[in-house]
Structure 1
Amino acid sequence: MFDIGFLELMVVGVLALLVLGPERLPGAIRSTVNTVRSIRNMASGFRQEVEQQFKEHELHENLKKAEQLQLKNLSPELQRSVDELKDAAASVQQPYRKDK
């Protein structure tokens, strides 16, 4: 992603040592690592959320196609989507069913 070589890292390290000093440098490194880690986690969460939205959109489009075909003569892909939606609907309704 970034084109940073070993020499550049050494220059940044020496400058950080001169500016921050040996007492504050480990804390600054820890803080930087924690910040980078939290940014990566946020980016990962965002990516997963976008992927989930795309999957939901695809299922919605497949359901529209299936409704237009009146759930007859569906392609295998559409049939899988319809079955997946039926299973999801059944699993949501299951806790609320009253068995008499």
Structure 2
Amino acid sequence: MFDIGFWELVLIAVIGLVVLGPERLPIAIRNVSRWVGAAKRMAGSVRDELEQELKIKELQDNLHKAEQAGMKNLSPELQESVETLRQRAADVQHPYASSPTSTTAAHDTESADTATSPSSTSSTDK
């Protein structure tokens, strides 16, 4: 990243020792290492967010292509993107479900019944 060699580091350490003294040098090194660590974490966070945004953009582009194709005779990559988007949409709608892909139809009708009549379930829970 900075292309600093061994001798440059030795020179920086000697200058730091002369300027700061042996009492304050360890504290200064600790502070600098904390700043560098915080900068690395922030850079990693930004990189992760950018990767996620790029993936979302790619999925949106593939969905747009699929809509233009009429959702018929899609390429395997477009079909996979559509399925991924459907799964993510289901995850957003039901964020606390343990495994939305493994639910059965009976469980879905049961949850639909309880969702339409919340007063009956809340009175029995009390």
TM-score range, shorter chain: over 0.9
Q: Which has the larger radius of gyration?
A: 2
Relative contact order, higher structure (CA 8 A, sep 6+): 1
Structure 2 length as normaliser, TM-score? 0.74
After superposition, the C-alpha distances for 1:29-56 in whole angstroms (9 at most, x for unaligned) are 0000000000000000000000001000
- How many equivalent residue pairs? 100
Q: How does 1:7-18 map to 2 (within 5 A)?
A: 7-18=7-18
What percent of counterpart residues are identical? 54
> Which consecutive unaligned segments of at least 5 residues does structure 1 have?
none
**What residue is the counterpart of 1:99 in the other structure?**
112
Could you tell me how far apart the structure 2 residues matched to 1:37 and 1:53 are?
24
Supply the AA of the counterpart residue of 1:63: L
CA RMSD of aligned residues (A): 1.6
- Alignment partner of 1:70: what SS? coil
Supply the AA of the counterpart residue of 1:82: V
Structure 1 length as normaliser, TM-score? 0.92
